[in-house]
Amino acid sequence: MEPAGVLKNSVWAVHLFALLIHVCVGFKADAEPVKVTVYLETLCPDSMIFVKHQLAPAWENLREIMHVDFNAYGFVLETPLSEGYEFSCQHGADECKGNMIIECARKYADNLDAFVDFDVCFMSSSYPPNEGEICADNVGVAWSPIDICSKSVEGQQLLHESGVRQNSLVPVPNYMPWIIINDVFSQEYLDEAQSDLIGLVCRVYEGTLPPICQSSSHF
């Protein structure tokens, strides 16, 4: 029989080895990701606060179990032109510019993660409409096609399409940001997402929870 000290050290070594494997391999999702769909305006203070203080940390810590989609439109008056559209956005012309940048990034970012990374950076800045190029550089997205798109009829068309998506929702949004979880809107989800999105995603996710979800501060 091994001495107690040797046995204890052996058990500790096994636990340490298992921990190292977990750290090296990383967390793997084993269920469908929680779909977080956000409708927002780029100069809406509540939209900016939500992204900076809720969505950004949730995306940083839980991207393995989240599917995030951004839609920028909000409360807009639009007028069809012979080509494209003219927009009047709630917070002014710069908001229309910012909204079009997001919708063009949807089309020209390399993949969904890059699109979300760009939008999180963009909406976490002090004045999003002026931060497109900086955020594109920060997350490794080509800025030129987004910039060209946002200043063209193409950008106008993409912003119009975002409005079509928003206005097809039931209920139609009467507040920004409008947050939908797993394609289901509820006032409970909207309220909780703005106060503890990490806790909400952890609660809704049906698979094995990542370590941050086990923190008492989120339950």
pLDDT at residue number 27: 61
pLDDT at residue number 25: 45
The domains of the chain, with CATH numbers, are: 34-218 (3.40.30.10)
Written in H, E and C, the secondary structure of 178-195 is: EEEECCECCHHHHHHHHH
Q: What is the pLDDT of residues 146-156, one digit of tens each?
A: 999 999 999 99
Is the separation of the CB atoms in 127 and 144 below 8 Å?
no
pLDDT band at 69 (very low <50, low <70, confident <90, very high): very high
pLDDT at residue number 141: 97
Mean pLDDT of 139-165: 98
pLDDT at residue number 215: 72
pLDDT above 60 for 5 = no
Is the separation of the CB atoms in 65 and 36 below 8 Å?
no
Q: Which of 72, 56, 46 is nearest to 121 (CA)?
A: 56
pLDDT at residue number 214: 81
pLDDT above 70 for 178 = yes
Alpha carbon 208 to chain centroid distance? Answer: 21
Q: How many residues does the chain have?
A: 219
Q: Which of 166, 40, 157 is nearest to 95 (CA)?
A: 40
User: Whole-angstrom Cα distance, residue 146 to residue 155?
Assistant: 9
Q: What is the pLDDT of residues 6-16, one digit of tens each?
A: 433 443 333 33
Strand ranges (E), 33-96: 34-40, 66-72, 76-80, 85-89
pLDDT band at 18 (very low <50, low <70, confident <90, very high): very low
Q: Quick one: what percent of the chain has pLDDT higher than 70? A: 86
pLDDT above 60 for 64 = yes
